[in-house]
């Protein structure tokens, strides 16, 4: 008799046939990682970031912005699937992949994670490491409690941006800038 899904290494296919149980699920090296759905404030901040990025990206036809935990396959055998709160994929990469129904095969160019009360520092460090190892060019970790954004281009040299600092898209989303405090004005 086969082991239940939660007791064996899972695949992308297994993840997408799981029933909705009120939790957010990801795979980390084939292991199911579950956390409660994020709260109201988290959703408002996530939506505002997606809105700000989308307006800029669509106007300049730079690619696509995704929100709401869209899946990205970061590794295979064992499978790692992460769902950033907000993500950006360049136009070229989006056009090559097509409009994928399930998880995108590859890393986003930008991954944005808004911290929730259930996030531990170790779990967030693992997410950032997974994104960067898979080729994500920037990761923004947004902290509603301290009203800061930590920008990662590498795991070893994060840059913390405070409320009055500017957050920019650098070479990932050229021309995008916003004052950090604005993303908390929800």
| For range 42-64, the mean pLDDT | 96
pLDDT in tens, 147-186: 999 999 999 999 999 999 999 999 999 999 999 999 998 7
Model pLDDT, residue 7: 56
pLDDT in tens, 95-121: 988 777 789 999 999 999 999 988 889
pTM of the full predicted structure?
0.90
Is the CATH number of domain 39-184 3.90.1570.10? yes
Q: What share of the chain is helix, strand, coil (3-state, %, to 5)?
A: 30, 30, 40
| For range 135-158, the mean pLDDT | 97
Contact (Cβ atoms closer than 8 angstroms) between residue 186 and residue 44: yes
| For range 85-89, the mean pLDDT | 97
**Apex CA 60: angle with CA 56 and CA 64, to 5°?**
70
DSSP state of 9: -
- Is pLDDT of 3 > 70? no
* CA–CA separation, 130 and 107 (whole Å): 9
Provide the pLDDT confidence category of residue 4 given band limits of 50, 70 and 90: very low
Place of tokens 């795979």: 27
């Amino acid at each position: 008799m086969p082991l239940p899904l939660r007791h064996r290494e899972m695949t992308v296919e297994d993840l997408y046939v799981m029933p909705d149980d009120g939790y957010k699920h990801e795979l980390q090296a084939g292991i199911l990682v579950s956390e409660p759905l994020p709260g109201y404030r988290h959703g408002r901040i996530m939506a505002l970031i997606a809105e700000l990025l989308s307006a800029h990206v669509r106007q300049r036809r730079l690619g696509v912005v995704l929100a709401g935990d869209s899946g990205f396959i970061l590794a295979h055998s064992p499978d790692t699937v992460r769902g950033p709160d907000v993500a950006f994929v360049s136009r070229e990469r989006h056009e090559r992949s097509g409009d994928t129904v399930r998880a995108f095969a590859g890393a986003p160019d930008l991954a944005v994670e808004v911290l929730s009360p259930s996030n531990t520092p170790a779990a967030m460090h693992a997410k950032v490491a997974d994104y960067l190892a898979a080729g994500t060019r920037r990761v923004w970790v947004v902290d509603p409690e301290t009203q800061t954004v930590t920008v990662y281009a590498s795991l070893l040299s994060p840059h913390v941006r405070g409320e009055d600092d500017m957050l920019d898209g650098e070479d990932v989303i050229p021309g995008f800038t916003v004052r950090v405090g604005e993303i908390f004005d929800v």
